[in-house]
Amino acid sequence: MNPSPNLFLVGPTGAGKTSIGQRLAAHYGLPFVDLDVEIEARCGTTIADIFEREGETGFRARECAHLDEFSLREGIVLATGAGAVLDPANRQALMSRGTVLMLGVSVEEQLARLEHDTARPMIAGPDRLGRLKALAEHRNYLYEDIADLIFHGRHESVDDAVPRAIALLERHWKRT
């Protein structure tokens, strides 16, 4: 059983935070929250529209407020947006309010998983591979810095990945 008040999933776009997070929440009998979905629901529009109207700065302010609110809850699995770790206050909130699980994935795997995705403003444009590499270079050390655990993705289905993630979490919680 999860002795932590919360489980927070961080990692790059396409790492599986939502897919794996939903399964982890079901396994532990906890509610699942996708931070980006909550932002869209409360704002009544898409993240791409928020980026277009308010820029990245406006979106990040909304993201910070929502992350603070949801991370204060107890007993949830929260999938953060890929850029949530950019803000130092977000990193501190995640580290101090639960277990942080980084989902790691290679840029090549991201590219394959996101091949048909057109909704993510941070990877929009003709050089998607270049964008993903730049984002990885800028963000991966932030994910790693706050992570209690790092779960490396493989070329596998969610059904195969989830038991590995559960085993990793269970080993960690037995030690703490």
Binding site members: 14-19, 36, 60, 120, 139
Q: How far apart, in Å, do the first and last CA atoms of the chain sit?
A: 12
At position 112, the amino acid (one-letter code) is A
Binding-site residues for substrate: 36, 60, 139
Handedness of CA 32, 35, 37, 40 (dihedral sign): positive
Where on the phi/psi map is residue 78: left (φ > 0), alpha (ψ -120 to 50), or beta? beta
Binding-site residues for ATP: 14-19, 120
8 A C-beta contact, residue 35 and residue 67: yes
Binding-site residues for Mg(2+): 18
- Rounded Cα distance between 18 and 14, Å, is 9
3-class DSSP assignment, residue 127: coil
3-class DSSP assignment, residue 5: coil
